[in-house]
Amino acid sequence: MDVSHNRQIRDVVFVDGVRTPFGRAGEKGIYANTRADDLVVKCIRELMRRNPQLPPERIDDVAIAATTQTGDQGLTIGRTAALLAGLPQSVPGFAIDRMCAGAMTAVTTTASGIGFGAYDVVIAGGVEHMGHHPMGAGADPNPRFMSERIVDPAALNMGNTAENLHDRFPAITKERTDAYAVASQNKFAAALAEGAIAPDLVPVATMKPGAGWTVNTADEPPRPGTTVEDLASLRTPFRAHGRVSAGNAAGLNDGATAALLASADAAAELGLPVKMRLVTYAFAGVAPEVMGIGPVPATEKALRLAGLSIEDIGLFEINEAFAVQVLSFLDHFGIADDDPRVNRYGGAIAVGHPLASSGVRLMNQLARQFEEDHSVRYGITTMCIGLGMGATVIWENPHFNTGTDTATTTEGSAA
């Protein structure tokens, strides 16, 4: 019997999202003695605590991303984290790897299942413990990549790809990226002071030998008060007299995120909040040696799918892997470096970028901005991805034009 005509694409909504505080990778970082899977467990448990009206058995799947899927990030971490978090054994889970866009892909993959009707409610997120698993550790790239020149050697080092972007766009100077980085630090510090960051954080207790237990409630990487003069003196490790430094790029970090997604019907049935509605998403490939330009074609594709233009986007959450990557995106679309629509709460240069977890951080921040600013209808979360890709998700604000006064009106503002 043909039942395909009975299927209808369903609306997908972002119900809630949380994350651990992000830590600095390494022996001195807050998570040096904490397992990656335990960070995911904290996020899953917090989602369930914050949404008690959701019966755990109603969760249809758990998708968790990690770039380095070994050790405490291996063993099909979506399933193992679900079991460790105390979800019923009937709840399945799986693992995803799309490097930096891991959590974003966990969201889009499970959202597609919701839209198709295979799921009603899912948990999607990501984790990266770069202290335990440095990027590329244990990887064995096929020698054909080099021998057959399938990729440029620079493609295997993200810092080199950022320097290549500077070569391609000489108008993006080191002075300009340093200024952007300082603005990111300042915006994050302001958002933290205004109470916009802490509500999404899950406290994590950690143990350090000789120091005992500590409850971590704040991100470790931010450096408030950073100046352009501070950044000008930093070395450029990827190239002599280069332009990419530790000050205008995201650091090496540990952290986890998780989001609760549902069909609009299931959210209404269960009394779950609706923070955003998914409009569409797109992934795109680019030359691996300039992977940072990936968000440009991904965003153009997503806009075409949605029937929107860049002028329709009222808020941008762009992952700040490198300042040059963000600025190349802004230049392409004619958006000013200091446009108030862009990364209002600061970004990864300040707060950190634990690779596969970052996509949901972007979504958390966009959802909170939607709650604050009802003049904005559409926003995007976008990021570049190692080995030459980009990802963009377009979201709609469910609070758009509900009549609540807002402090700013930004949608459609021209750079």
Q: List pLDDT tens digits, range 277-330.
A: 999 999 999 999 999 999 999 999 999 999 999 999 999 999 999 999 999 999
Containing structural domain, residue 267: 12-130+151-396
| Exposure of 198 in the CB half-sphere (CA atoms within 13 A) | 9
User: How many domains does one find in the chain?
Assistant: 1
Alpha helices (runs of H) in 153-253, residue ranges in sequence order? 158-168, 174-193, 228-232
Query: Which of 43, 100, 129, 133 is an active site residue?
Result: 100
Q: Could you say which of 129, 132, 166, 353 is catalytic?
A: 353
Burial 302-327 (b: 16+ CB within 10 A, else e): bbeebebebeebbbbbbbbbbbbbbb
pLDDT of residue 149: 86
Q: What is the pLDDT of residues 36-55, one digit of tens each?
A: 999 999 999 999 999 999 99
Pairing of strands 61-65, 93-96: parallel
Torsion of CA 288, 238, 138, 326, to 10 degrees: -50
**pLDDT tens digits, one per residue of 169-218:** 999 999 999 999 999 999 999 999 999 999 999 999 999 888 889 999 99
Residue 332: active-site member: no
In a domain, 401, yes or no: no
Separation of alpha carbons 292 and 164, rounded Å:
9
43 is annotated as an active-site residue = no
pLDDT score of 413 more than 90: no
7 part of a folded domain? no
Q: Active-site residue among 43, 132, 384, 399?
A: 384
Residue 136 within any structural domain of the chain: no
Q: What is the CATH number of the domain that holds 22?
A: 3.40.47.10
Amino acid (one-letter) located at 35: R
Nearest residue to 257 (alpha-carbon basis) of 380, 136, 123, 350: 123
Report yes or no on 412 lying in a domain: no
Distances in whole angstroms, Cα of residue 393 to Cα of each of 21, 232, 266, 324, 379: 24, 34, 22, 21, 8
The confidence band for 116, taking pLDDT boundaries of 50, 70 and 90, is very high
The answer as to whether 4 is a domain residue is no
Say what the pLDDT of residue 139 is.
85
Identify whether 218 is part of a domain.
Answer: yes
